[in-house]
Amino acid sequence: MLTPGAAPVPVYWAELDVPSVDDAKERLAIREGVPDKFAHRSIGFWSPSAVSDHRDADIIGKWAEGYGHRGVVWTALKPKFGPNYITPNAGQVIQYLQALTGEPQRRAEEYVRKAPVQIATAYRREIEMVFDWTPLIDE
């Protein structure tokens, strides 16, 4: 469980064609906009020879070994809500979304509705009930 207290949900993963875990960590940091000086805190990793000290790295490593992977990287960013590094509750998320208007609201709705249906978080259930932002089904 990467977020303390959160219920487990399915995750998606993809193979990255890079020569090493270090290269994968660098690419992921760039994609996530993580400055070099914070990459060690914000990018988790596992390989048979080295493991980051991030929460549940051992569980991810066991999963990776089961699939025969030589290494895994993942975002290990702190939850951030507005200017604060906190994990918001569903009420705070709803309140934030209700305050959006115009283009920011349209982008938020699109983001929520395009998320794969398998990502069935408590936030998503609450958002669907309040806003009726149900998943968009590809045709």
At 116-131, the pLDDT tens digits run 888 888 899 999 999 9
At 83-92, the pLDDT tens digits run 998 989 999 9
Q: Is the pLDDT of residue 139 over 60?
A: no
Note whether residue 127 is domain-resident.
Answer: yes
At 53-71, the pLDDT tens digits run 988 899 999 999 999 999 9
Domain that holds residue 47: 21-75
Note whether residue 119 is domain-resident.
Answer: yes
Q: CA angle, corner 122, sides to 129 and 106, nearest 5?
A: 55
Note whether residue 55 is domain-resident.
Answer: yes
**Phi, psi of 114, deg, nearest 5:** -90, -10
Report the pLDDT averaged over residues 99-103.
Answer: 97
How high is the pLDDT of residue 138? 64
At 26-46, the pLDDT tens digits run 999 999 999 999 999 999 999
Residue 30 sits in the same domain as residue 58: yes
Which amino acid is residue 27, in one-letter code? Answer: R
Per the structure, the count of domains in the chain is: 2
Note whether residue 9 is domain-resident.
Answer: no
Is-contact 24 71, C-beta < 8 A? yes
Is-contact 64 72, C-beta < 8 A? yes
Note whether residue 106 is domain-resident.
Answer: yes
Residue 101 sits in the same domain as residue 62: no
Joined tokens for residue 9: 């949900």
Residue 71 sits in the same domain as residue 30: yes
Note whether residue 138 is domain-resident.
Answer: no
Using DSSP, state whether 51 is helix, strand or coil.
strand
Note whether residue 62 is domain-resident.
Answer: yes
Joined tokens for residue 130: 């309040």
The model carries a pTM of 0.77
Note whether residue 46 is domain-resident.
Answer: yes
Task: Name the percent of the chain lying above pLDDT 90.
Answer: 69
